[in-house]
Each structure stands twice: as structure tokens, then as C-alpha cells.
């Protein structure tokens, strides 16, 4: 499972938000003595009509209460700033095991071609690196017994990996060509003893090859060779595009456990404010920093035990901009 990167540059997003806030004629409410109270940001719809040219505004709370910090953003500005929301609800928390390995060609996709009858090689039509089709002629050999020529054909489609034959040579029992098919590769993952009983055939696995994630499952688990202190979990990967090669290093996340929970949020939505884990909950044009009680996490989703209800809409993308604005405005403080 993969975490997605943000599409908007940080600088552009921040300039949009700050520019809008600079248009605000007043950022904090003052008491009768003209002193600003650095309380939590909240709207003041009852006492002040917002300037029609403002796209974001907030005021300080008139007393140091426990009301949550609130930022007001209209729909257009929220979209320009890159704030994207999700609806909180049930989901699953997965525990993963990190392992490493290399890509290899499955044995049934490696073919060594020998002459059917001893003879003299009269013609060779392929070289190392050439692609070949199934039943394509590779060479012509003149039989020593019949003195008649016969064709040596490829039993598979693939690529010529090795050639051990030249025109005029006498064929023996050695292979003349080695052909391989790379359309499917194995990821051979090393599983050490401490993880041996947590990795089984059939488990889902996510292979990372040069930053690209390939989802598959474990086909088999077999002992290592020559007394190696690990077993090999083999995972079949489609390689029709040819962007993977035998010998390439890969990392993998094995799905070891999956637990269904009643309420989850995306990890990127979580922010730390005043020593608490908070989520920005959207209600209309109000974005409220609400403290939550997180539970189990798998690096992508986090279980929530309190502070958020199923069905509520929260900010997932770029929630850090809202946190930064609260800190800049002095709305975050210890009670």
C-alpha cells in the first residue's frame, strides 16, 4: 500500500493562504481596554459581519476557555489552498513485515537448446540479446549420420541469453543456446527464522522495485540453499513492460495481519498541536482543530478511539497548512 505525495508545492499553497489572511482587516478581537486576548480562533458572526473581500478570517476568543481553535475558509479558497477532505468511517488496520530480496527468472522460463543429432553447424540465425518467437529457426545442422540438414527451433518465446555455437563447429552434448523469458519474474524474499512462522503461502505482499509498487501474493516458501539461515518466499511478478530485470534488488511489505476497526483516518490528517494529536474537522466553512485519541496504526491509517465520530468530514490533504496558520496567529496555547 502506498502513501501518495501531494501534488501542490508547499510554497504555492502557503502563499495562497497567507495572501488571503493578509486581506483580513482584523485578526483578533480586543476587549474594552483595547488589549488582544491570545485565545483560540473562532468566528464572530454575532458581533461582526465579515468583510466581503475577505476569504479567510478569524478572531481570538474573548476569554481563555476550552473552545477549540477554528479557522474560517470559504469553498473557493479551500480548493485553491489544496485542502481535501475525507469522511471518517470504518476501515482496517494492517500489520506489515518488511523483507528484502532479489528478482530471478523462474526455472521453467530458462531453456537450453541442444542439437538433436550430432553434426556440423551450417547456419546460425540469432545472436545474444536477440528476441525470438516460439518455433523460430535458431540454426541449421548437418547430421553426421544422414548427411541431411535439419533445423533447430526455439520451443519458447523469449530472448537469447547465451550462445555457445559457431558455424562449422561440431555439435556435442553441450547447449548451443540459452533462451529466457522475462515476462514473469520471481521476487525471492529472504525470511529469517524470527519471521518464519508469520510468512505463509497465499499472503498478500507489496513489492517495491525502484519506487514502483507491485501487488501480488506469496506463491511458495522454500528452504535456502547451502545451509543459508533463511527461507525464500517466492512472489510472481508480471514484467510485460520489461522494466524489471533478474538480479534487481527489491523490498517488500508482507500483510501479516488485518484487523477491521470501527473508525479510521488517514495518517496524513493527524497533526500535533499543544502536545495533543488533532484532526481538522470541516463543518461548512469552519475548520475546527479537534483533539482525538489515536489507537493502532499501520503507517497509512490510524484507528481513532475518541474525539471524532463516523460520518464527520476531516481534512486529509495539506492539513499542516491549517496548523501553521493557527501557530502563526497565536491561536494555539496551553491552558
Q: Is the pTM of this model over 0.85?
A: no
Helices first, then strands: H and E counts in the chain: 3, 24
Say what percent of the chain tops pLDDT 90.
Answer: 55
pLDDT at 258: 85
Res. 59: pLDDT tops 70: no
- In the numeric block, the cell 479558497 is attached to 77
User: pLDDT band at 230, cuts 50/70/90?
Assistant: very high
Q: Coil, strand or helix: which one is 308?
A: coil
- Considering only residues 185 and 82, tell me which one the structure prediction assigns the higher pLDDT: 185
CA separation for the pair 47, 155 (Å, rounded): 85
H runs (alpha helix) in the chain: 10-22, 75-81, 319-329
pLDDT grade, residue 61 (50/70/90)?
A: very low
Mean pLDDT of 139-159: 94
Give the pLDDT confidence of 17-58 residue by residue, as tens digits.
Answer: 444 443 433 333 333 333 333 333 333 333 333 433 333 334
User: Is there a contact between 77 and 92 (Cβ–Cβ < 8 Å)?
Assistant: no
pLDDT at 67: 59
DSSP string covering 131-185: EE-TT-EEEEEEETTT--EEEEE-SSSEEEEEE---TTPBP-SS-SEEEE--SEE
Cβ 140 vs Cβ 122: under 8 Å = yes
Assign 3-state DSSP to the chain and report helix, strand, coil percentages, each to 5.
Answer: 15, 45, 40
For the chain, domains (ranges, CATH) are 10-93+261-329 (2.40.420.20), 95-106+183-258 (2.40.30.170), 107-180 (2.40.50.100)
Classify each residue of 153-184 as buried b or exposed e, where b means 16 or more C-beta atoms within 10 Å of its C-beta. Answer: ebebebbbbebebeeeeebeeebbbbbbbbee
pLDDT bracket for residue 330 (50, 70, 90): low
pLDDT of residue 334: 43
- Mean pLDDT value across residues 78-90: 88
Confidence grade of residue 280 (pLDDT, cut at 50, 70, 90): very high
Checking if the pLDDT of 219 tops 50, the result is: yes
Amino acid at each position: 500500500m502506498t502513501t501518495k505525495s501531494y501534488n501542490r508545492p508547499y510554497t504555492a499553497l502557503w502563499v495562497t493562504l497567507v495572501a488571503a489572511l493578509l486581506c483580513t482587516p482584523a485578526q483578533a478581537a480586543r476587549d474594552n481596554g483595547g488589549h488582544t486576548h491570545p485565545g483560540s480562533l473562532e468566528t464572530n458572526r454575532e458581533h461582526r459581519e465579515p468583510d466581503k473581500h475577505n476569504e479567510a478570517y478569524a478572531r481570538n476568543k474573548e476569554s481563555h476557555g476550552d473552545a477549540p481553535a477554528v479557522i474560517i475558509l470559504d469553498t473557493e479558497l479551500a480548493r485553491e489552498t489544496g485542502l481535501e477532505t475525507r469522511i471518517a468511517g470504518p476501515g482496517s488496520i494492517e500489520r506489515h513485515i518488511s523483507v528484502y530480496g532479489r528478482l530471478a527468472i523462474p526455472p521453467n522460463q530458462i531453456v537450453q537448446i541442444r542439437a538433436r543429432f550430432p553434426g556440423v553447424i551450417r547456419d546460425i540465425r540469432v545472436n545474444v540479446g536477440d528476441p525470438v518467437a516460439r518455433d523460430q529457426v535458431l540454426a541449421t545442422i548437418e547430421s553426421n549420420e544422414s548427411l541431411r540438414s535439419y533445423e533447430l527451433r526455439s520451443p519458447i518465446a523469449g530472448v537469447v541469453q547465451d550462445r555457445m555455437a559457431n558455424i562449422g563447429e561440431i555439435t556435442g552434448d553441450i547447449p548451443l543456446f540459452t533462451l529466457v523469458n522475462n515476462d514473469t519474474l520471481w521476487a525471492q524474499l529472504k525470511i529469517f527464522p524470527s519471521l518464519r512462522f508469520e510468512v505463509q503461502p497465499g499472503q498478500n505482499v507489496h513489492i517495491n522495485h525502484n519506487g514502483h509498487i507491485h501487488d501480488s501474493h506469496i506463491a511458495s516458501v522454500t528452504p535456502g540453499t547451502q545451509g543459508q539461515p533463511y527461507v525464500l518466499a517466492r512472489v510472481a511478478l508480471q514484467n510485460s513492460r520489461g522494466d524489471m530485470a533478474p538480479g534487481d534488488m527489491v523490498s517488500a511489505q508482507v500483510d501479516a495481519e488485518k484487523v477491521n476497526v470501527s473508525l479510521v483516518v488517514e495518517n496524513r490528517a493527524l497533526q500535533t498541536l499543544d502536545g495533543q494529536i488533532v484532526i481538522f474537522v470541516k463543518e461548512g466553512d469552519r475548520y475546527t482543530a479537534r483533539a482525538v485519541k489515536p489507537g493502532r496504526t499501520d503507517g497509512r491509517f490510524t484507528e481513532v478511539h475518541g474525539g471524532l465520530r463516523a460520518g464527520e468530514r476531516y481534512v486529509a490533504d495539506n492539513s499542516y497548512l491549517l496548523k501553521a496558520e493557527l501557530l502563526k496567529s497565536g491561536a494555539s496555547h496551553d491552558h
